[in-house]
């Protein structure tokens, strides 16, 4: 019978036949103590006890390794499982219904996990992780501002959840490679060495797996959450879950970047690249937590609203809906062809905005809407269906709008039919565009898009969880303590 030895940073694993034996290395770290034989025995016993909850039939017991009748080591004895049957190995071939089933299973794990006290406050987790990332040269200033704002705003929800018994002695390391598919669905490798790493809000336990799946497929991650909630699991508000997923991605980025600093060559480059990918994922979830579920980016034609909406959809991973594309679809023409005067009549325009509203309501995971909203009847048709949207207004001087429209018409690469004459007429007819409620921000669109996004993030963080809060013209200036007023070169759309 052949055997195989595998090594992690804290264990050796011997694979032989239908068994696996995990031996803990005699190590001591700030987060882990395997320094004595007695301590390793205790941790082996604890690993078996804890993981039998989530993986029945896998954890068989603790094996004493002895010589001359005296134990010199201990091992966790496990029934070997097919590594091709893990969620990580099969994610590319699964359907949303499969992830719904996994979500239901995780909800079952959490329902059976005992309530606990003494959960490590997320603020300490975040601050320690940010400090480590900064020491590694990572640029996390904007994320630091987001976490401090979001944790403060969502602390009442977290506190209610503590009082409701949603802090449980959970898994602690619930990622795709630890989910075994089959009947039943099981989870292996829960953390035994530090209770503070697994005693947490069940939504924080779930967030690790949601984040890990979302790295590769957002639709499957949403299906996972649907399954969890359908089985009675309380994942918290969408904003809270997005915040927790962002924190999980941040912590994993720290782990990979720390490991990259210890390696050389291609292995170091690979780990560093994954760390940067996880930091980008943390940013993506941060945007989802900041933004209302529906964000309307509005303004006159050529105000830069489409460019801003596309950029916002890209950084948040959200779907974008366009009034121009919806109008062309309804008219049955190519997006780059003229839709015809009949497509811009009052009645048809109201139908276009009603369709935008219907699609926004149906959109999973939030949506960015790109439309002028210059007519009151159009706005009313949309707001009747989506009363709680957040609004971002794009403005630019008249001469800038006219010139952008002229350049756009000369290129003939835009879905908008609004040339300079139409823009001039709409400005004369409608004047300054006002949203139906106080906007998140009103932007003068004459600076780079990257700067806009950074400033928009600051505005959202300053008024976190309050999208009806106006951003002052003085915002962001020294001594005001407010988010900045924004300008951006958002192209000609």
pLDDT at residue number 408: 80
Question: What average pLDDT does the segment 51-75 reach?
Answer: 96
Give yes or no for a contact between 489 and 447, defined as CB atoms under 8 angstroms apart: yes
- The answer to whether 424 and 345 have CB atoms below 8 angstroms apart is no
Q: How many alpha carbons lie under 13 Å from residue 112 in its C-beta half-sphere?
A: 12
**8-state DSSP, 181:** P
Whether residue 165 has a cis bond before it, omega within 30° of 0: no
Structure tokens, 233: 């699991």
What percentage of residues in the chain have a pLDDT greater than 90? 76
pLDDT in tens, 425-469: 888 888 889 999 999 989 889 989 999 898 899 989 998 744 333
pLDDT tens figures, 378-424: 999 999 999 999 999 999 998 989 888 888 877 766 778 677 788 88
Q: How many helices (H) and strands (E) does the chain have?
A: 16, 17
- Residue at token pair 């403060």: 152
- Whether the pLDDT of residue 71 is over 80: the answer is yes
Per CATH, the number for 3-79 is: 3.30.200
The answer regarding whether domain 83-290 maps to CATH 3.90.1200.10 reads yes
2-11, 195-204, 265-274: least confidently modelled range: 2-11
Range of weakest confidence among 24-33, 39-48, 87-96, 357-366: 24-33
Residue 340 binned pLDDT confidence (cut-offs 50, 70, 90): confident
Nearest CA among 290, 304, 291, 299 for reference residue 488: 304
Residue 120 CB: number of other CB atoms within 10 A?
16
Per-residue pLDDT band for 492 (boundaries 50, 70, 90) equals very low
Whole-model pTM? 0.88
Contact 453, 315 (CB under 8 A): yes
Domain 294-489: give its CATH code.
Answer: 3.40.50.300
User: Is beta strand 390-395 parallel, antiparallel or unpaired with respect to 441-448?
Assistant: parallel
Length of the chain (residues)? 493
- The domain ranges of the chain are 3-79, 83-290, 294-489
Above 70 in pLDDT, residue 8? yes
């Amino acid at each position: 019978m052949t055997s195989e030895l595998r090594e992690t940073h804290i264990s050796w694993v011997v694979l032989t036949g239908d068994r696996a034996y995990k031996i803990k290395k005699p190590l001591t770290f700030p987060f882990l103590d395997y320094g004595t034989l007695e301590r390793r025995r205790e941790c082996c016993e604890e690993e078996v006890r804890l993981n039998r909850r989530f993986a029945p039939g896998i954890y068989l017991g603790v094996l004493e390794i002895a010589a001359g009748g005296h134990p010199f080591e201990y091992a966790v004895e496990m029934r070997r499982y097919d590594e091709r049957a893990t969620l990580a190995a099969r994610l590319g071939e699964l359907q949303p219904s499969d992830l719904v089933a996994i979500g239901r299973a995780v909800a079952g794990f959490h329902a059976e996990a005992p309530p606990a006290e003494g959960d490590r406050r997320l603020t300490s987790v975040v601050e320690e992780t940010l400090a480590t990332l900064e020491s590694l040269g990572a640029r996390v200033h904007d994320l630091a501002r987001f976490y401090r704002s979001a944790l403060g705003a969502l602390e009442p929800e977290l506190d209610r959840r503590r009082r409701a018994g949603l802090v449980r002695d959970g898994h602690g390391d619930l990622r795709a490679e630890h989910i075994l598919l089959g009947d039943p669905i099981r989870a292996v490798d829960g953390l035994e060495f530090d209770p503070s790493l697994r005693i947490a809000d069940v939504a924080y336990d779930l967030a690790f797996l949601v984040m890990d799946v979302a790295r590769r497929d957002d639709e499957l991650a949403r299906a996972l959450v649907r399954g969890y909630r359908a089985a009675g699991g309380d994942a918290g508000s969408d904003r809270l879950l997005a915040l927790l997923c962002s924190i999980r991605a941040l912590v994993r980025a720290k782990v990979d970047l720390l490991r990259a600093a210890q390696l050389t060559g291609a292995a170091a480059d690979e780990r560093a690249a994954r760390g940067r990918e996880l930091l980008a994922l943390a940013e993506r979830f941060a945007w989802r937590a900041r933004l209302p579920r529906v964000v309307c980016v509005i303004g006159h034609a050529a105000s830069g609203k489409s460019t801003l909406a596309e950029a916002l959809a890209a950084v948040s991973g959200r779907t974008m809906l366009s009034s121009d594309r919806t109008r062309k679809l309804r008219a049955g023409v190519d997006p780059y062809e003229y839709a015809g005067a009949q497509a811009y009549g009052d009645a048809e325009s109201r139908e276009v905005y009603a369709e935008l509203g219907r699609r926004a309501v149906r959109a999973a995971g939030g949506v960015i809407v790109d439309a002028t909203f210059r007519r009151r009847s159009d706005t009313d048709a949309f707001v009747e269906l989506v009363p709680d949207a957040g609004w971002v207004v794009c403005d630019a001087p008249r001469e800038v709008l006219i010139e952008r429209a002229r350049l756009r018409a000369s290129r003939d690469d835009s879905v908008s039919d609004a040339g300079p004459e139409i823009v001039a007429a709409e400005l004369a007819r409608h004047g300054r565009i006002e949203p139906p409620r106080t906007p998140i921000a009103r932007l003068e669109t004459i600076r780079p898009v990257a700067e806009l996004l950074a400033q928009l993030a600051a505005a959202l963080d300053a008024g976190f969880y309050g999208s009806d809060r106006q951003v002052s013209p003085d915002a962001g200036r020294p001594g005001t303590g407010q988010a900045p007023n924004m300008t951006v070169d958002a192209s000609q759309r």
